[in-house]
Amino acid sequence: MNWRCVSMQILERGVRAFMRGALLAVLAAMLGACSMFDKDNVAPDEPADKLYNEGLYLLNTKKDPKEAAKKFEEVDRQHPYSEWARKSLIMSAYAYYESGAYDECISTAQRYVTLHPGSPDAAYAQFLIGSSFFDQIPEISRDQTRTEKALESLDEVVRRYPNSEYAVAAKRKMEMARDQLAGKEMEIGRWHLQRREFTGAINRFKVVVTRYQTTRHVEEALMRLTEAYMALGIMDEAQTSAAVLGHNFPDSRWYKDAYALMQSRGLEPSENKGSWISRAFKLG
């Protein structure tokens, strides 16, 4: 046996083992250094109450709702299962509302209602959703999708939380939203009337009379129905519309116009109790 060769083989194995050990040591040192570096650079969680109070300070004292919302969101991020997270979520929705960030307010408030439906603040979260849509109601000539969403969301407040302090305010906003939607129907109805598209006009005015009867537009809608039915020669419905208008709004200027229109054709307002108009107002 060549002992010199054997010795060389043993030496080589030892060197390789040593190199492996040295490499592992270097890697371990590097990982340890990285671990220490990460620990030094990751900020520790701040106390939930501290973040929450900083949010309140930014909201109430600094009048900076956008930055306040960020603080409240940090509570939810760092302490997601705490009572502070629940409080911060509703405050975040309010801060977004105050800053005019309506889409963010809506999504945050919807999340609150989903996570905490039985909470005392659930009614307020739902009210914030409705108010966010309400504040974005466009002028009458534009698409009224947001008005419809405002009405639906505010109705949720009244339906699900009837005894809450927000139900009364929700009802007031609902009336204004209904008035807006009725106004849109009137605008389209008048457009049809001007183009002598009387059936299309009647369909729009019918919506106002049946769905938005408590709005200020119902008087004109009844007068326009009188006008449109007369143009089509459907005198029975024209007389009924004028009669219902006179019965419910005897001092209205629209009734005076409807009565004058009847007189111009030698007719008098006369109610047909079988008419859809009469049934809509539950006369007799």
Task: Give the pLDDT confidence score for residue 215 in this predicted structure.
Answer: 96
Judge whether 184 lies within some domain: no
What amino acid occupies position 153? S
The range of the structural domain enclosing residue 211 comes to 196-284
Residue 284 has pLDDT above 60, yes or no: no
Task: Report, as an integer, the average pLDDT of 102-126.
Answer: 96
> What are 236-269's pLDDT values in tens digits?
999 999 999 999 999 999 999 999 999 999 999 9
To the nearest 5 percent, what fractions of the chain are helix, strand and coil?
75, 0, 25
**What does the block give as tokens for 140?**
């009458």
The alpha carbon of residue 98 and the mean position of all alpha carbons in its chain are separated, in whole angstroms, by 15
- pLDDT > 50? residue 3: no
Side-chain-facing half-sphere of 269: CA atoms under 13 Å? 23
Across 15-19, 153-157, 256-260, least confident range: 15-19
Q: How far apart are CA 254 and CA 208, in angstroms?
A: 15
Average pLDDT, the chain: 87
Helices (H), 42-144: 48-60, 65-78, 83-99, 102-115, 122-134
Residue 258 within any structural domain of the chain: yes
> Mean of the pLDDT values across residues 101-112?
98
Q: Is residue 156 part of a domain?
A: no
The answer to whether position 81 is within a domain reads yes
Whole-number pLDDT of residue 44: 57
pLDDT of residue 19: 37
3-state SS class at 43: coil
Q: Is residue 20 part of a domain?
A: no
- 3-state SS class at 281: helix
Domain count, the chain: 2
Of 62, 81, 99, the domain-final residue: 99
Per-residue pLDDT band at 9 (split at 50, 70, 90):
very low
Threshold 0.85, pTM exceeds: no
Residue 268 within a domain: yes
Asked whether the predicted pLDDT for residue 41 surpasses 50, the reply is: no
Q: Is residue 168 part of a domain?
A: no
Of 59, 83, 99, the one marking the end of a domain is 99
C-alpha angle with apex 136: 133 to 140, nearest 5 degrees? 115
pLDDT band of 21, cuts 50, 70, 90: very low
Q: Per-residue pLDDT averaged across 168-191, rounded?
A: 98
Query: How far apart, in Å, are the Cα atoms of 204 and each of 145, 150, 224?
Result: 17, 21, 10
Q: Is residue 141 part of a domain?
A: no
Q: At what angle do helices 253-264 and 235-248 cross, to 10 degrees?
A: 150
Q: Taking residues 178-206, what's their average pLDDT?
A: 98
Task: Identify the three-state secondary structure at position 119.
Answer: coil
Task: State what percent of residues in the chain have pLDDT above 70.
Answer: 83
Q: Which residue, 99, 119, 134, sits at the end of a domain?
A: 99
Can you give the pLDDT at residue 24? 38
